[in-house]
Amino acid sequence: MTTQIHIVGGGLAGSEAAWQLAQAGVKVRLSEMRGGGDMTPAHQTDGLAELVCSNSFRSDDAENNAVGLLHAEMRSLGSLILAAADAHRVPAGTALAVDRDGFSAQVSGTLAAHANIEIVRERVDALPASGATIIATGPLTGAALADAIKGATGADALAFFDALAPIVHRDTIDMDICWMASRWNKGETKDYINCPMTKEQYLAFHQGLLDGDKTEFKDWERNTPYFEGCMPIEVMAERGEDTLRYGPMKPVGLDDPRTGRWPYAVVQLRQDNALGTLWNMVGFQTKLKHAEQVRLFRTIPGLEQAEFARLGGLHRNTFINSPQLLDPTLRLKGAPHVRFAGQITGCEGYVESAAIGLLAGRFAAADLQGRVMSLPPITTALGALLGHITGGADAEIYQPMNVNFGLFPPIEGRAKKADRKKRYTDRARAALTEWQAALQPEATLGPEEPAI
Ligand SMILES: Cc1cc2nc3c(=O)[nH]c(=O)nc-3n(C[C@H](O)[C@H](O)[C@H](O)COP(=O)(O)OP(=O)(O)OC[C@H]3O[C@@H](n4cnc5c(N)ncnc54)[C@H](O)[C@@H]3O)c2cc1C
């Protein structure tokens, strides 16, 4: 078979991209190192689209949940990953959970049986110098290929660990308590939201950090180099009662407009996306367990009602600085024959990775067939996620992100909290329908397409 595109990595993203391309009539070579003598530290099998941890694709509620909406959009675009997940669904309430072995076997079998796909069990160590390519090697990309990517993109543009500080939806911050100021009152612009703390509140918070349940590193993650750059907030807290007050919680220069004085400590939040809907808790990367983070961070004055778009974490995770490196259709600006897809782009999670694989596959098919494919509208889950990765996120502080409503343009007008999510999803559905109708016929693969 003369291949027209080379996909490297047969995980969630590479498998979905291969399927979309093959269904559009493009001949695909899919290289997967597992099964060819190599393994990642987290995978256990040779199966394509292996789920390395949880067996859940999270909420399947397309009316009220952004990831549920993403499921629905992917189904309507003929996603293989969603079709296999639906076929191997196990009871999990409103979540979409799957029998992982059946799921992976179905993806592997369907791709292996496709006349347009050749699966090769090989490790790829270099970026191909020419020819259409999709790199979908995920958070545990092979070391040699990671080095090659680093060479092509620059050392600062490829990370091997994430250091996630929690992100808060802007409209859930109480601005009657918080106020805007510059960082430690230096500079002209008031770019930071400040949450003030009294001594009692700070000491209780400090104790909460020391006492809180933490997640352990996996054995192969233990050599995390985070201590050099972005130390977890609880590790800083262990160094002494005042360490945080001289670090990320420093109140110097920050007059609280309600008292006219510096608070004992502050928590500062900085805008995280161009839309201004998401705000990042500066310096709050943490390995506290998620429930503990929500409980403790809601004790911060002004964040009592905070809704978190992302919680903190630290993991081994290979990802590129996509907002800086990729064009809107996921091509590497410096080498446009190469696209990136999946978690290596800085999206986070099984569903998001497969969604970006779906888009990369469709964009690549359009390029190879001389068609123009418009971008999915920013008001859809696919468009919001793609837009965030390829430019909406702040490249200076880029860290992995799940899909969430904070990535969408805010809805117009006021709405009751209970109605807001529904309004996002109604708007998204209408936009997706319009976009799909406008796609040139060759790009319109219907939902019935995955014949599995
Ligand atoms: C320990 C761990 C736990 C996780 N738990 C969850 C979870 O519970 N829920 C969740 O939603 N997400 C979880 N994730 C994130 C999850 O890995 C991703 O969401 C998802 O698997 C990413 O899909 P992907 O296709 O980008 O990468 P992957 O699914 O990892 O696929 C990449 C593929 O590329 C192959 N590969 C790598 N390098 C090369 C090379 N040089 N040549 C050829 N092939 C190569 C790998 O073998 C792999 O099959 C976890 C990640 C890790 C590391």
Mean pLDDT for the stretch of residues 401-420: 88
Q: What percent of the chain has pLDDT over 90?
A: 82
As a whole number, the mean pLDDT across the chain is: 92
Q: Over the stretch 47-69, which tens digit does the pLDDT of each residue have?
A: 999 999 999 999 999 999 999 99
CA of 138 to the centre of ligand 1 (A): 4
Kindly report, residue by residue over 308-321, the tens digit of the pLDDT: 999 999 888 999 99
Report how far ligand 1's centroid is from the alpha carbon of 13 (Å).
9
Residues 247-286: tens digit of each pLDDT = 999 999 899 999 999 999 999 999 989 899 999 999 999 9
Hey, is 109 helix, strand or coil?
helix
Exposed / middle / buried, residue 208 (Cβ in 10 Å: 0-12, 13-18, 19+): middle
* Structure token pair of residue 133: 């390519």
Give start and end residues of each alpha helix (H) in 55-198: 66-76, 80-87, 100-113, 143-153
Nearest residue to 284 via CA among 174, 168, 400, 176: 168
Per-residue tokens: 351: 């569903």
Which residue out of 6, 7, 12 has the highest number of ligand 1 atoms within 8 Å of its CB and is therefore the one to mutate? 12
Residue 197 host element (H or E)? strand 192-197
Quick one: which of 177, 327, 180, 158 has its CA closest to 259?
177
DSSP conformation class of 345: G
Rounded Cα distance, 435 and 429, in Å: 10
Residues with CB under 6 A from ligand 1: 8-14, 31-34, 40, 42-43, 52-54, 123-124, 136-142, 145, 342-344, 349-350, 353
Q: Give the whole-angstrom CA distance, residue 281 versus residue 279.
A: 7
The pLDDT tens digits of the residues spanning 179-211 come to 998 876 666 778 899 999 999 999 999 999 999
> Which residues, at least 6 apart from 174, have a Cβ–Cβ distance to it below 8 Å?
301, 302, 303, 304, 305
Q: What is the pTM of this model?
A: 0.91
Confidence class of residue 448 from pLDDT cuts 50, 70 and 90?
very low
| pLDDT tens column, 206-231 | 999 999 998 887 777 776 555 455 78
Name the residue with tokens 């976009």: 435
| Per-residue model confidence (pLDDT) at position 442 | 57
What is the Cα gyration radius of the chain?
22
Probe target for ligand 1 pocket from 122, 137, 316, 351, with the most ligand atoms within 8 Å of CB: 137
Length of the chain as a residue count: 452
CA of 370 to the centre of ligand 1 (A): 31
pLDDT at 446: 46
Alpha-carbon gap, residue 27 to 12, rounded angstroms: 19
344: left (phi over 0), alpha (psi -120 to 50) or beta: alpha
For atom 24 of ligand 1, the residue with the nearest CA is: 138
The span from the CA of 216 to the CA of 198, in Å, is 31
Task: Tell the residue nearest (CA) to atom 1 of ligand 1.
Answer: 42
User: pLDDT by residue (tens digit) across 354-393?
Assistant: 999 999 999 999 999 999 999 999 999 999 999 999 999 9
| Measured distance CA(225)–CA(180) in Å, rounded | 33
* Cβ–Cβ under 8 Å, residues 394 and 271: yes
Say what the pLDDT of residue 95 is.
Answer: 93
User: 172: which DSSP letter?
Assistant: G
Q: Are 259 and 253 in contact (CB under 8 A)?
A: no
* Closest ligand 1 atom to Cα of 58: 11
Q: Is 416 helix (H, G, I), strand (E, B) or coil?
A: coil
Atom of ligand 1 nearest to the CA of 54: 8
CA of 353 to the centre of ligand 1 (A): 9
What confidence score (pLDDT) does residue 184 get? 65
Provide the pLDDT for residue 225. Answer: 58
